């Protein structure tokens, strides 16, 4: 044999480190690194061996394929789909038709038998391609080469290895290398042969140690579906998704921020007949509505993700977010990491430039799904139902399909946007669209039916986790702001937030935390059910409401726990996004007519002539008509602070009319484990009633801080119903009476050493009002996110005229 010695053709994972990428490729090098370095920290990786890049080169050389491949790929135009397909097929066919050298076959066979050990039946293995240039920090090579599962027996293994070698020249791999400027002949293919994890009997998925949409670094995103993992990677199913907060996970807490049930339509399992290795079968309706992982399993995977990321970060000398694949063995119940590679999109984001897309107006919504990319695009729809039709796709169109796989990559780079029926945020379409900088909406369910060829649409991924397909070409603008030159004012600049889906993205805006987190949004959009309807579910007389509640709370025999969990998850997203900065949660401030509109709510709410100044805020919390509902709110807050460890969460009491009411509410909270001062709990009060100003010294004695609600305060000082169009022109927060009262309460708070901020609309609408507040030496100003940057500039300008040292 000419060239390398046989020992250079086979390497066991235990003998491989990340430095061996030139020899065994990125996947195998990372598997070896984890086997060697992280097994002692509890991270489980299935054993196996690598067939090296030298073995690939030896095969190509011995089969005399070099010249043929060079000639076939010369002068290739990757945008000519037909030509690309013809040439790629010719190269792959030549590799598959050649014969593996006899000595290489023997070496592979010996290693396979060693991996099998004393087992009486042929070992089932996963055969994974591992290119020597893959998984680089600026190029993911996601799905470029093939992976084969449930390969049993030496003959099948040898055939599969040859198919892996050929997959270095799939159409998508050829196109990707050409577009990225990689020389085909400076890249070789190694193969990983790894014990199968029997996730066909359990579940599997993908894990990122960074939020894939916003680039928020302190979260782990886990996707999970039943069966073998290819369905999740390829987007064949819409998986469950779980978000875990890293910071308090590492301190022993259980910070699962979000659990979303995916439809998990199919599962990939072993095929015991018909000659195929695996097959897809439907998942039963009962299993589809269940979560694939338990809380303990979610947390174990997230801890492993942190261990892997910390290891690679230390090795590389900089943060190294990771993209991992995991599997659960249905026989043993054990979890395993089966692949690990660098995350290649968000980790390269420039943190000094803030880019935000804003839709000018909305139109009819044609489809919705999970948003990918935080951008907006317009274009004509092109529905592509199979890979055979990809030649029809034109540059700048919106690609609409059931799902994508790596064969679609040559047209994905030409798309204005991508829409799929199936898949989650870690599927192929999502990963590739991020890398290409193309907005995508995945998991729409019916996108290919709802959208028609030639229809002009606007694809918006800039409104949180939900992506919207709007009718027509809508106007939008893009704002790019350099944060390097922005100063930091003495006055704290905070944000008013409601939507948990936007929290991670908005956390990148320079801020001092959240001055107003609105609970009502979470209840209206995520819970939708009146808390008392959950507490009294069995006694509900409204049959339609009862049926809807039963459907929405499937999997919750304890109906009130649904309210607690959903509320806690929404609040935790807000608290985690800004941790360790203060996040001040205003407890529920619905009016009785708004509570009545929740599912099952009419049976529990009074009919009031003027709900704006009726049964709302503090008066509800200790009243027998709502006490039990308020208890659920308290349980959710306690869960966020204690179970998840997010002690930066503060709470705020709205519409507290008297000092006596404030004491009653705090007594009610204490019954449910929320005592002021314990575990750092601070309790604020809204300053939105004239009595809060007049009796500010007394309120300051029982609360940790005030937040001025300028809308209600203006309404009650001027006697103006802010909902009345007739007297609307009189409503003005800049009225001298309003400003006088605000100046008075700020002065009182400062005299008593009590914090005071504002979360009302006025400083967001009027920069001069923000300047007035700075002149009064207010501690913090909480603003709508889209006004933070411009108002910060106005505050900085005003502070130049206000003596320093005015803020404690």
H/E run at residue 401: strand 398-401
Residue in 428, 461, 530, 749 annotated catalytic: 428
Would you say residue 139 has pLDDT above 70? no
pLDDT score of 519: 96
**What's the 3-state SS for 621-671?**
HCCCCCHHHHHHHHHHHHHHHHHCCCCCEEEEECCCCCHHHHHHHHHHHHH
Phi, psi of 80 (to 5 degrees): -90, 95
Q: How confident is the model at residue 722 (pLDDT cuts 50, 70, 90)?
A: confident
- In this structure, the strands spanning 398-401 and 417-420 are parallel
pLDDT score of 484: 77
The verdict on whether 428 is a catalytic residue reads yes
pLDDT score of 119: 81
Would you say residue 597 has pLDDT above 50? yes
Q: How confident is the model at residue 4 (pLDDT cuts 50, 70, 90)?
A: low
Question: How is 533-571 classified by DSSP, letter by letter?
Answer: HHHTGGG---HHHHHHHHHHTTT-SSHHHHHHHHHHHHH
**Can you read off the two tokens belonging to residue 407?**
């064969």
Phi, psi of 687 (to 5 degrees): -105, 90
Adjacency order of strands within the sheet including 10-12: 10-12, 48-51, 189-195, 124-131, 147-152
Question: How is 295-351 classified by DSSP, letter by letter?
Answer: HHHHHHHHHHHHHHHHHHHHHHTS---EEEEEEE-TTT--EEEEEEEE--SGGG--T
What average pLDDT does range 316-339 have in this prediction?
A: 95
**Any idea which of 82-91, 111-120, 263-272, 579-588 has the lowest mean pLDDT?**
82-91
CA 358 to chain centre: 20
pLDDT score of 186: 74
CB burial of 255-278 (b: ≥16 within 10 Å; e: otherwise) equals bbbbbbbbbbbbbbbbeeeeeebb
Q: Model pTM?
A: 0.87
pLDDT score of 582: 98
Cβ neighbourhood burial of 581 (10 Å; 0-12, 13-18, 19+): middle
**Any idea which of 10-24, 71-85, 616-630 has the lowest mean pLDDT?**
71-85
Residues 348-359 have pLDDT tens digits of 777 777 788 999
Would you say residue 599 has pLDDT above 50? yes
CA dist 252 and 238 (Å) reads 31
Residues 424-440 have pLDDT tens digits of 888 888 888 887 889 99
Would you say residue 497 has pLDDT above 70? yes
Q: Taking a C-beta distance cutoff of 8 angstroms, is the pair 454, 433 a contact?
A: no
pLDDT score of 273: 65
The radius of gyration of the chain's CA atoms, rounded to the nearest angstrom, is: 30
Phi, psi of 353 (to 5 degrees): -120, 125
Q: Taking a C-beta distance cutoff of 8 angstroms, is the pair 123, 195 a contact?
A: yes
> Max Cα separation, the chain?
96
Q: How confident is the model at residue 333 (pLDDT cuts 50, 70, 90)?
A: very high
**Any idea which of 9-23, 80-94, 254-268, 452-466 has the lowest mean pLDDT?**
80-94
pLDDT score of 51: 97
**Any idea which of 184-198, 341-355, 370-384, 747-761 has the lowest mean pLDDT?**
341-355
pLDDT score of 5: 59
H/E run at residue 780: strand 780-783
Question: How is 701-714 classified by DSSP, letter by letter?
Answer: TT-SEEEE-HHHHH
**Can you read off the two tokens belonging to residue 350?**
């420039």
Query: Can you list the pairs that 674-683 forms with residues at least 24 positions away whose Cβ atoms lie under 8 Å?
Result: 674/634, 674/637, 674/638, 676/704, 679/641, 679/642, 679/647, 680/647, 681/641, 681/647, 681/650, 681/651, 682/650, 682/651, 683/650, 683/651, 683/652, 683/653
pLDDT score of 507: 95
Mention every residue, 6+ apart, whose C-beta is less than 8 A from residue 528. 552, 598, 599
**What's the 3-state SS for 344-381?**
CCHHHCCCCEEEEEEECCCCCEEEEEEEECCCEEEEEE
pLDDT score of 506: 93
Residue 400's SS3 state is strand
The verdict on whether 358 is a catalytic residue reads no
Residue in 306, 427, 749, 759 annotated catalytic: 759
CA dist 52 and 131 (Å) reads 10
What average pLDDT does range 152-168 have in this prediction?
A: 93
Q: How confident is the model at residue 133 (pLDDT cuts 50, 70, 90)?
A: low
More confident residue, 82 or 750: 750
pLDDT > 90: what percent of the chain? 72
pLDDT score of 110: 95
**Measured between alpha carbons, how far apart are the two ends of the chain, in Å?**
79
Q: How confident is the model at residue 576 (pLDDT cuts 50, 70, 90)?
A: very high
pLDDT score of 790: 84
Mean pLDDT in the chain?
91
What are the angstrom distances between the C-alpha of 503 and each of 136, 323, 499, 654, 789? 30, 22, 7, 22, 17
Q: Taking a C-beta distance cutoff of 8 angstroms, is the pair 427, 338 a contact?
A: no
**Can you read off the two tokens belonging to residue 548?**
């809807």
**Any idea which of 239-243, 321-325, 341-345, 405-409 has the lowest mean pLDDT?**
405-409
Would you say residue 173 has pLDDT above 60? yes
Q: Taking a C-beta distance cutoff of 8 angstroms, is the pair 715, 731 a contact?
A: yes
Cβ neighbourhood burial of 82 (10 Å; 0-12, 13-18, 19+): exposed
pLDDT score of 808: 43
Residues 666-712 have pLDDT tens digits of 999 999 999 999 999 999 999 999 999 999 999 999 999 999 999 89
**Can you read off the two tokens belonging to residue 486?**
């922005």
Q: Taking a C-beta distance cutoff of 8 angstroms, is the pair 87, 73 a contact?
A: yes
Angle CA 803–807–808, to nearest 5: 135
Q: How confident is the model at residue 274 (pLDDT cuts 50, 70, 90)?
A: low
CA dist 141 and 81 (Å) reads 19
């Amino acid at each position: 044999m000419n060239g390398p010695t046989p020992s250079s053709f086979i390497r066991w994972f235990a003998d491989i480190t990340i430095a061996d990428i030139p020899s065994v490729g990125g996947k195998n090098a990372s598997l070896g690194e984890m086997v060697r370095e992280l097994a002692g920290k509890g991270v489980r990786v299935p054993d196996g061996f690598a067939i090296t890049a030298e073995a690939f080169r030896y095969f190509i050389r011995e089969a005399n394929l070099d010249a043929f491949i060079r000639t076939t790929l010369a002068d290739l135009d990757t945008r000519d789909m037909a030509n690309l397909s013809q040439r790629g097929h010719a190269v792959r066919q030549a590799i598959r038709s050649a014969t593996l050298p006899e000595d290489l076959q023997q070496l592979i066979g010996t290693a396979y038998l060693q991996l099998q050990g004393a087992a009486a039946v042929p070992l089932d293995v996963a055969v994974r391609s591992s290119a020597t240039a893959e998984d680089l920090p600026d190029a993911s090579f996601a799905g470029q080469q093939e992976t084969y599962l449930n390969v049993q027996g030496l003959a099948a293994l040898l055939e599969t290895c040859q198919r892996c070698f050929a997959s270095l020249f799939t159409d998508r791999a050829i196109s990707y290398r050409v577009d990225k400027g990689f020389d085909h002949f400076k890249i070789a293919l190694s193969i990983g042969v790894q014990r199968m994890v029997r996730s066909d009997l359990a579940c599997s998925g993908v894990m990122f140690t960074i939020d894939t949409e916003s680039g928020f670094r302190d979260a782990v995103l886990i996707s999970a579906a039943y069966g073998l993992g290819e369905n999740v990677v390829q987007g064949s199913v819409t998986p469950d998704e779980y978000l875990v907060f890293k910071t308090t996970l590492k301190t022993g807490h259980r910070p699962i921020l979000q659990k979303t049930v995916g439809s998990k339509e199919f599962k990939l399992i072993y095929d015991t007949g018909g000659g195929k290795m695996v097959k897809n079968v439907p998942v039963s309706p009962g299993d589809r509505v269940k979560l694939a992982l338990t809380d303990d399993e979610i947390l174990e995977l997230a801890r492993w993700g942190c261990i892997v990321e910390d290891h690679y970060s230390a090795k590389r000398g900089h943060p190294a977010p990771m993209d991992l694949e995991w599997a659960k063995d249905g026989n043993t119940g054990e979890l395993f990491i089966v692949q690990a590679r660098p995350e290649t999109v968000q980790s390269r984001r420039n943190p000094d430039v803030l880019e935000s897309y804003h839709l000018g107006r909305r139109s009819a919504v044609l489809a919705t799904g999970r948003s990918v990319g935080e951008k907006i695009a317009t274009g004509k729809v092109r529905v592509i139902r199979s890979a055979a039709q990809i030649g029809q796709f034109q540059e700048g169109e919106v690609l609409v399909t059931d799902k994508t796989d790596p064969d679609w990559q040559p047209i994905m780079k030409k798309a204005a946007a991508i829409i799929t029926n199936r898949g989650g945020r870690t599927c192929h379409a999502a990963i590739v669209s991020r890398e290409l900088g193309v907005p995508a909406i995945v998991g729409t369910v019916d996108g290919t039916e709802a959208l028609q060829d030639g229809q002009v649409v606007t694809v918006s991924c800039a409104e949180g986790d939900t992506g919207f397909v709007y009718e027509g070409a809508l106007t939008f603008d893009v704002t790019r702001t350099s944060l390097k030159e922005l100063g930091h004012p003495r006055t704290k600049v905070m944000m008013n937030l409601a939507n948990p889906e936007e929290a991670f993205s908005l956390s990148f805006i320079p801020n001092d935390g959240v001055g107003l987190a609105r609970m009502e949004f979470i209840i209206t959009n995520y819970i939708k059910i009146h808390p008392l309807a959950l507490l009294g579910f069995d006694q509900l007389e409204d049959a339609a409401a009862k049926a809807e509640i039963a459907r929405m709370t499937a999997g919750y025999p304890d109906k009130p726990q649904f309210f607690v969990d959903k509320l806690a998850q929404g609040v935790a997203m807000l608290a985690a996004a800004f941790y360790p900065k203060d996040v001040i949660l205003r407890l529920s401030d619905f009016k009785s007519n708004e509570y009545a509109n929740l599912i099952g709510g009419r049976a529990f709410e009074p009919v009031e002539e003027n709900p704006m100044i009726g049964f709302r805020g503090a008066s509800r919390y200790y009243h027998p008509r709502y006490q039990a509902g308020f208890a659920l709110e308290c349980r959710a807050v306690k869960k966020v602070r204690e179970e998840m460890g997010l002690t930066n969460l503060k709470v705020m009491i709205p519409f507290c009319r008297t000092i006596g009411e404030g004491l009653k509410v705090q007594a009610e909270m204490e019954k449910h484990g929320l005592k002021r001062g314990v575990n750092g709990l601070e309790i604020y009060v809204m300053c939105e009633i004239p009595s809060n100003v007049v009796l500010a010294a007394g309120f300051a004695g029982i609360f940790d801080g005030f937040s001025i609600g300028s809308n209600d305060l203006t309404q009650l000082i001027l006697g103006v119903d802010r909902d009345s169009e007739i007297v609307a022109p009189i409503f003005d927060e800049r009225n001298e009476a309003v400003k006088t009262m605000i100046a008075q309460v700020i002065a009182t708070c400062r005299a008593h050493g009590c914090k005071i901020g504002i979360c009302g609309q006025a400083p967001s609408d009027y920069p001069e009002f923000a300047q007035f507040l700075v002149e009064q030496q207010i501690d913090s100003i909480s603003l709508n996110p889209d006004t933070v940057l411009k108002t910060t500039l106005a505050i900085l300008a005003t502070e130049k005229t206000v003596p320093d040292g005015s803020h404690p």
